[in-house]
Structure formats: C-alpha cells, structure tokens
Amino acid sequence: MAEPSPTPVIAGNWKMHKGPESARKFCREFIQVAPPTTGRTILIFAPALSVCTVREALSEHRIGIGVQNIHWEDEGAFTGELSAAMAKEAGATHVLVGHSERRHVFGETDEQTAWKVAAALAHGLVPVLCVGETIEERKAGRLEEVILRQLHAATTELDERDLRRLLIAYEPVWAIGTGETATPADAADAHGRLRGRLRERLGDHAAGVPILYGGSVKPDNARELLAAEDVEGVLVGGASLDPRDFAKIAAA
C-alpha cells in the first residue's frame, strides 16, 4: 500500500491557469517562501501542459504533483484527453476526480468518476475524489444524500485496500470561486457524514482517509477551517495561484 499522506494536506488547484513559463516562475517563488514539507503534504494540481515543468522545478522538494482530470481508458482515439498512465509517466502522483467544474460544466457523471478512480488506482495515482452539493440541493435539505451518493458511486467497486488509498475533498459547489466559504461548523458537519460512511466500510481505518475542505479557502480563513473536526486539509483554487498566499495557507 502507498505511504499515507501526512496531514494536513494542502492542495492547490490551478484550474486553467499557468502555462509552463508561469508555472516555473510560481515554483521559483513558492520554494522561497514555502513552509517545511515535513509533517504536512503539499500538492499542486497543475494544468497537464505544465506538469513536467513543475516536476522539474520542484524535483528537490517533497511536493506532490497532480493532474486535474484523466480519461478512464489507457490510450486510444480520444482527442484532447489524457490518461492515468500518461499522467504517471509525466511525474504526477495525484489526480482530481469529480471536481465540481468537471461535474457541472462538463457533465461528468457519477459513473465516470468511478471509472476514473479505478484507472487512477490501477496506475498508482492517488485519486482526490471531490464531492459537494449545489445551493439548491443544500436548501432542499439534500446535503447528505448528494455527498454520500457521490462517494458511494465512485467507490462502491473498491476493496478496502484501494478505498484506503483515496483522499476525499468536500467542496460545496456554492463556495467554489464565489468568495462564500462554508463555516468551520458546516465543514465539520459534512465531513462527519462522509467519515461516518467511510467508517461503515473501513471501521477504525476510516480515520486514515484524509478529508479536505475546498471552497474559497484564503490565507485568513485557512487556520480555522483546518482546526475544524474531521478536516485534514484544504483544496485551494484561486488563492493557490499566488505563491505567497499559497505558502501562507500551507503554513496555517
């Protein structure tokens, strides 16, 4: 089994920002200000075009590199896609699966998240499975139904060993890129429900599956979110684009 990731896990998702040159500049600046990597896991989810550059720029630092999406097939006539095998070959260690923009902008289904999780694990990539409810679902009292359905759909075929290799990210859709942040109590509530479901499958080992919070995490709110019950890390979009802001979050 892969080594568990030390917590907290601080993950940056650059989305569609930073080609190779600006990625290199970010890495140069980040390593000047980043906190020590012992006792925490720092991950950068770069655009696929910049993964090799980030890997080279950070080769002497214990920082994981992830891709933001994969196709579930290893290769083939899938123009514009990339596979887990290719991401691994480029030096990626992690992959985001089911990010809300994949689900809600590109129509990714629960079934496809399951295929992607399986493909990632088959190639030794750690999947970071993202789940989260829309504001309408939340207002309708469907938070638990939605996030547990997404968790179940993506993991139901996994055996215990593989399930323990996952990271989960709870990202309420209404908090992503909006400046709206869930309160630490909201995060703890959702994380507790996810942990409860993991416990049904893994017993005490459920405590070893890190659950990250994502949604408008900034340097000034990271500390209180990370202190919330069952929050073992953060997934950061906008604020991960600035090396100083990301370093402050990593140090929180």
Q: Which of 99, 133, 191, 232 is an active site residue?
A: 99
For ligand PEP, the binding residues in 58-117 under the rule CB under 6 A are: none
Neighbours of 107 (CB within 10 A): 8
The least CB distance from residue 187 to ligand PEP, in Å, is 12
Of 53 and 216, the one with the shorter C-beta distance to ligand PEP is 216
Judged by beta carbon, residue 206 or residue 249, the one nearer ligand PEP is 249
Q: Reply yes or no on whether 56 is catalytic.
A: no
Check binding of 237 to ligand PEP (CB under 6 A).
yes
Does 221 sit near ligand PEP (CB under 6 A)? no
Q: What is the DSSP string of 159-197?
A: -HHHHTT-EEEE--GGGSSSS----HHHHHHHHHHHHHH
Q: Is 132 in the site for ligand PEP (CB under 6 A)?
A: no
What sign results for the dihedral spanned by CA atoms 237, 238, 241, 245? negative
Per residue, the 3-state secondary structure of 109-123, as one string, reads CHHHHHHHHHHHHHC
Interactions with ligand PEP, residue window 159-178 (CB under 6 A): 171, 176-177
Preceding omega of 8 cis (within 30 degrees of 0):
yes
- Which stretch, 115-123, 154-162, 190-198, 236-244, contacts ligand PEP (CB under 6 A)? 236-244
Note if 171 is an active site residue. Answer: yes
Report whether 173 contacts 100 (CB < 8 A): yes
Name the residues that contact ligand PEP, by CB under 6 A: 13, 15, 171, 176-177, 214-217, 235-238
Active-site residue list = 99, 171
